[in-house]
Each structure stands twice: as structure tokens, then as C-alpha cells.
Amino acid sequence: MKNATMNIENKSKLSREDFQTTVEGKPVDLYILTNDQGMEVAITNYGCMILSIMVPDKNKNYENIVLGHSSIKDILKCPEPFLNTVVGRYANRIAKGKFTLEGKPYSLTVNNGPNALHGGPTGFHTRVWNAKQENKNTLVLTYSSKDGEEGYPGNLEVELTYTLDNESNALHLNYQATTDKTTIVNLTSHGFFNLAGIANPTPSIEDHVVTINADHYVPIDQVSIPTGELLSVKDTPMDFLTPHSVAERINDDFVQLKNGAGYDHCYILNKVEPGELTLAATCQDPKSGRLMEVYTTELGVQLYTGNWLAGIKGAHGATFPARSAICFEAQCFPDTPNRTYFPSAKLEPGEKYTQHTVYKFK
């Protein structure tokens, strides 16, 4: 393992010593990416977790705009295990933890009511990835997921490259994966953003103004499994084709908002060609002036408004109450393996899974 960042001084005020340990026999460390614009991203190879993203506000004041931790000890005891991690082998939910692939049934660990969520309790978010920091802008992380891990078939080789753009404040996530047996793959970064900056308590994101480039979304039942329909957002609180604050409609008497305890839904992105990198969403905090743009090659993006956060503790004494974060998780649709009419998440030997997602800050 190589870490090109030897100087512990950083805008995030994080210490390498607080991350340098071993978990299940593999070394964990802290990595700092910087660019020529002054932006900084701190990452650990435990779960590919983003610990901080330091970007300026309208007055050029830098603050951390993700709900992060300041030590590996805090990460391991956090009640929200997916905080800013990469999740897989399958992001989002699979109904009852079961699916059939090529005529063979598979059973996964159930860890979210009756369903499997985000690859299970020992998914990619709990794994120590091999890491190589190539330069101040780039960190490459790799992981070998064994055949049968959390119930998924095939040995899966996964690579994620974080690249901090030197010309603009954009963080690029490039994923690729290959398998030796037919399997399913759906990876995402579960970033918990608050563009106002984290604090004690971290303020609500309900004043954040959101747009999503999607005419349709995937409705869910009371346990957050797709109903099987693909519904129009028109004339509903799900419509973010034009800018709306989160607070404007999140508490409306609307069955989908009740089922998700707020927004926790996959949006079907408007695409001309599958796999093209397009603008998926924008999010702005009116007080700080920070604006985030989300681009992805994926067909869907899950909007989640931190409904189940419950005052957990974070970096440097920050606390994270309910709805103190907003997530834009680029991904396939939920429960795709059980929905043959959804775009497939299947990966076969000889094929390569790829994804490019960008979080750009202005």
C-alpha cells in the first residue's frame, strides 16, 4: 500500500494516526486529494469512505460538506454504516434477499426489514480495499469479492478511481468490475451531503434547492420495494424537473413520501443514449451559495433525504440529526434482479462493468 500524502496537515484537520490501524488483518490509512483550485477530499480505504470534502462558500470560506468521521474507531462504531462509503455488490434493496439468475436461486443476508440492502451487513462498505495514491489528484482502490460473498455468485474484481479535477472543483468516480461467473453488479457512492457544512448540530437540508433530470421515478411499497410501476413525476411532489426546496413538499400527504418517510426513491434519468455521461441533478444551499452538480452514466439516481439519521456523532464533535444530509446515489433500479422488465444489472464473464459519476462544486 502506498500513500503519497505524508504531510498530515490538511484543511479537514484529520490525522493519519487516527486511521492507521488494521481491520481483519488489512492496513487502513488516510489519503488526501487536493487540486490547484484549493479543494480537498479526504478518503480512507475502509469502505472507500469519503471523510471530508472541503469546498469554499460564496465568501471563500472552506467547510466540510459531507457527514464524515475523524477516526477509524468512530467509523467502526457508527450506527449508520453506509456513511459516504461505496456500497455493493448490489446497492439499494433486493426483495426478501432472494433472486434467481440463470435458473439458479440465490439467498442474501436480510438486513433491512424483510429485504437485503446495499450488499448486506458485510458488503463492500465494510471491506478494506487495496489503495494506491498515484499523485495529489488520484487515488485507485481495488477489491476482490469472492464467489459466494454475502450470497452473490462469482469472483468479482472491482476497481474504483477517485480523481480530483485540477481545472474545476469536480470529484470523478470511475468504477470498473469483471467476473468469472454470471452475477449481478450495482455499485454506488452513498455520499451524505450538506452544502451548508457540518456542525453541532448539522443544519437541516430542507432548505436545499434541488433539480433532477427525470420525467419518471420508481414508486415503492411500505418496505421500500418497487411496486413494479414506472410513474410520471408530473403534478406530484416527486417532480424536480424545475427547482424546488426539499422542505416545500416533503411532508405532503402523498403515499410515496409516507412510504419513504420522506424522499428515498430512484429517479429514472432522461437519457438519449444509455451509458452517456449527463447531468442528473443539481443541489444548492441558498445561504452558503454552494452548488453541487451530479453527472452520471447510470440510468438512475436515488434521492435520499437522511430521513433515518438520528443525531449520530461525526467529525470534530459534529452531530447529524434527521434530514441533515441529502444523497444522490447513481445506480441501477432497486430490485432489478427480480424485475425482468427493468434494465438488467447482470454481468457475465468477458464483460466489463463501468460507471462514471461526477460531483462538481461551484
Q: Map 218-266 to HEC letters.
A: ECECCCCCECCCCEECCCCCCCCCCCEEHHHCCCCCCHHHHHCCCCEEE
State the cell numbers at 200. Answer: 453541532
- Distance in angstroms (rounded) separating the CA atoms of residues 175 and 188: 9
pLDDT band at 145 (very low <50, low <70, confident <90, very high): very high
DSSP 148-216: TGGG--S-EEEEEEEEE-SSSSEEEEEEEEEESS-EE-B-EE---B-TT---TTPPPSTT-EEEE-EEE
pLDDT > 50? residue 1? no
Q: Establish how many alpha carbons lie within 13 A of residue 254's alpha carbon, considering only the half-sphere containing its beta carbon.
A: 18
- Distance in angstroms (rounded) separating the CA atoms of residues 290 and 56: 7
Residue 91 · residue 348 · CB < 8 Å: no
- Distance in angstroms (rounded) separating the CA atoms of residues 29 and 20: 5
Q: Could you read off the pLDDT of 180-208 as tens digits, one per residue?
A: 999 999 999 999 999 999 999 999 999 99
State the cell numbers at 220. Answer: 415503492
Residue with cell 476482490: 144
Closest CA to 281 of 322, 330, 343, 318: 330
Q: Could you read off the pLDDT of 68-127 as tens digits, one per residue?
A: 999 999 999 999 999 999 999 999 999 999 999 999 999 999 999 999 999 999 999 999
- Distance in angstroms (rounded) separating the CA atoms of residues 314 and 78: 9
- 190 catalytic? Reply is yes
Q: Could you read off the pLDDT of 252-296 as tens digits, one per residue?
A: 999 999 999 999 999 999 999 989 999 999 999 999 999 999 999
Q: Out of 80, 149, 293, 329, which one is annotated catalytic?
A: 329
Q: Find all residues with CB under 8 Å of 158, minimum gap 6, and list them.
A: 88, 124, 142, 143, 144, 145, 175, 176, 177, 187
Residue 192 · residue 233 · CB < 8 Å: no
State the cell numbers at 9. Answer: 496537515
- Distance in angstroms (rounded) separating the CA atoms of residues 61 and 191: 21
When pLDDT is averaged across residues 318-341 and rounded to a whole number, the result is: 97
Q: Could you read off the pLDDT of 147-185 as tens digits, one per residue?
A: 999 999 999 999 999 999 999 999 999 999 999 999 999
State the cell numbers at 278. Answer: 449527463
State the cell numbers at 59. Answer: 465568501
Closest CA to 28 of 7, 45, 48, 4: 45
pTM for this entry: 0.96
Instruction: Measure the CA angle with vertex 177, ends 174 and 178; round to 5°.
Output: 155
Please give the pLDDT value at position 3. Answer: 46
Query: What are the beta bridge partners of residue 210?
Result: 244, 283
Q: Could you read off the pLDDT of 28-56 as tens digits, one per residue?
A: 999 999 999 999 999 999 999 999 999 99
Between β-strands 188-189 and 231-232, what pairing exists: parallel, antiparallel or unpaired? Answer: unpaired
- 329 catalytic? Reply is yes
Please give the pLDDT value at position 9. Answer: 80
pLDDT > 80? residue 323? yes
Q: Establish how many alpha carbons lie within 13 A of residue 238's alpha carbon, considering only the half-sphere containing its beta carbon.
A: 27
Please give the pLDDT value at position 129. Answer: 98
What residue type is assigned to position 134 of the chain? E
What's the residue count for the chain? 362
Query: What are the beta bridge partners of residue 104?
Result: 101
Q: Is 264 exposed, middle or buried (0-12, 13-18, 19+ CB in 10 A)?
A: buried
pLDDT band at 8 (very low <50, low <70, confident <90, very high): low
Domains, the chain, ranges and CATH? 1-206+285-362 (2.70.98.10)
Q: Out of 69, 118, 125, 190, which one is annotated catalytic?
A: 190
- Distance in angstroms (rounded) separating the CA atoms of residues 362 and 55: 8
